[in-house]
């Protein structure tokens, strides 16, 4: 699998397909594995799809100083985008959307479209409580319980009720290592200090903000408020879907593909 060395940071990513580039940026504590078969779905839709393993999470290199930096993470993503055929779109989910927003605010020529999935640029007292909750989960709780404790919040009511076997499989596979929990803690701490509102005004790329109507981690109202602050941004709320939007909803995937082709 390809890697990039950028200013002493080693970034690993997967690559599938051919055509215009799509970079998938994962959420809290996650890497390319988060996206499962999504890269192949984008490849079948006519895109070159890269899924990033963030610095701090193997097989990418270690996190310098143990501190997660959104700006450095954004430049890592742009370095991956530079390897793909243009025009390239950044598709970030949850925390990954904040990274992609930081990248878009640079005005880099290496990408040209932005998709934010269940991601908000705004920091609120409620969101800080959520990020603190994640910090405690990865520091004070047995890691073997992490899947069980987060599943009710990572998926919407519809998916939890209709796909219990899939949720069970995900819970069983969620067994983070000590190193990945340390990385997750660094990200959760960085989230508590993040405020991306000023970045919204700097975005000039066509942007799509998608929310899940059943998302309790990043409410649809926060996604809508983010879209309202980005000039010309498109916004939609997907019924019957929660925080894991592209996994839960085929309609959400189709909406993203239509935006990228548009």
Q: The whole model's pTM is what?
A: 0.96
Residue 1: is its pLDDT beyond 80? Answer: no
Query: What is residue 142's three-state secondary structure?
Result: coil
Q: Are strands 9-16 and 3-6 parallel, antiparallel or unpaired?
A: antiparallel
**Within 10 Å of residue 58's Cβ, how many Cβ atoms?**
13
Structure letter (DSSP) for residue 62:
P
pLDDT for residue 171: 87
CA 171/CA 44 separation, integer angstroms: 28
Quote the CA–CA distance of 73 and 28 in Å, as a whole number. Answer: 13
Average pLDDT of the segment spanning 124-147: 92
Q: Looking at residue 154, what is its pLDDT? A: 93
Q: Which residue has the tokens 């995900």?
A: 170
Question: Measured between alpha carbons, how far is 62 from 11 in angstroms, rounded to an integer?
Answer: 10
Q: What is the pLDDT of residue 135?
A: 94
Residues 168-178 pLDDT 10s: 998 888 888 88
* pLDDT tens sequence across 182-225: 999 999 999 999 999 999 999 999 999 999 999 999 999 999 99
Q: How confident is the model at residue 147 (pLDDT cuts 50, 70, 90)?
A: confident
3-class secondary-structure state, position 158: helix
**Per DSSP, what are the bridge partners of residue 234?**
208
Percent of the chain with pLDDT over 70: 100
CB 242 within 8 A of CB 216: yes
Provide mean pLDDT across the span 94-120.
98
Residue 262 in this model has a pLDDT that exceeds 90 = no
Q: How many CB atoms lie within 10 A of CB 218?
A: 27
Average pLDDT for the chain: 95
CA dihedral 190, 191, 193, 196 (to 10 degrees): 120
What pLDDT score does 213 carry?
A: 98
Dihedrals phi, psi of 253, to nearest 5 degrees: -60, -45
**In this predicted structure, which of 12-16, 137-141, 252-256 has the lowest mean pLDDT?**
137-141
CATH architecture of 3-121+196-261: 3-Layer(aba) Sandwich (3.40)
pLDDT tens per residue, range 42-101: 999 999 999 999 999 999 999 999 999 999 999 999 999 999 999 999 999 999 999 999
């Amino acid at each position: 699998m390809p890697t990039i060395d950028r200013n002493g940071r080693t970034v690993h990513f997967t690559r599938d397909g051919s055509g215009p580039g799509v970079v998938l940026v994962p959420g809290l504590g996650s890497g390319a594995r988060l996206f499962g078969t999504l890269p192949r779905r984008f490849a079948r839709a006519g895109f070159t799809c890269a899924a990033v393993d963030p610095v701090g999470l193997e097989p990418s290199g270690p996190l310098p100083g143990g501190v997660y930096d959104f700006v450095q993470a954004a430049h890592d993503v742009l370095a991956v985008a530079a390897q793909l055929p243009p025009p390239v779109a950044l598709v970030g989910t949850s925390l990954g959307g904040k990274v992609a927003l930081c990248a878009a605010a640079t005005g880099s020529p290496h990408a040209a479209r932005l998709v934010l999935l269940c991601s908000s640029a705004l920091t609120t007292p409620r969101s800080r409580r959520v990020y603190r909750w994640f910090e405690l989960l990865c520091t004070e709780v047995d890691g073997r319980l992490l899947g069980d404790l987060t599943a009710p919040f990572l998926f919407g009511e519809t998916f939890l009720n209709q796909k219990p076997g899939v949720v069970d499989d995900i819970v069983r596979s969620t067994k983070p290592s000590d190193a990945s929990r340390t990385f997750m803690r660094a990200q959760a701490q960085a989230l508590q200090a993040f405020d991306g509102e000023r970045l919204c005004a700097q975005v000039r790329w066509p942007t799509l903000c998608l929310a899940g109507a059943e998302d309790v981690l990043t409410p649809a109202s926060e996604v809508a408020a983010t879209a309202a602050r980005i000039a010309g941004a498109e916004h939609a709320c997907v019924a019957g879907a929660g925080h894991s939007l592209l996994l839960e909803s085929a309609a959400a995937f189709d909406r993203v593909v239509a935006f990228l082709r548009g």
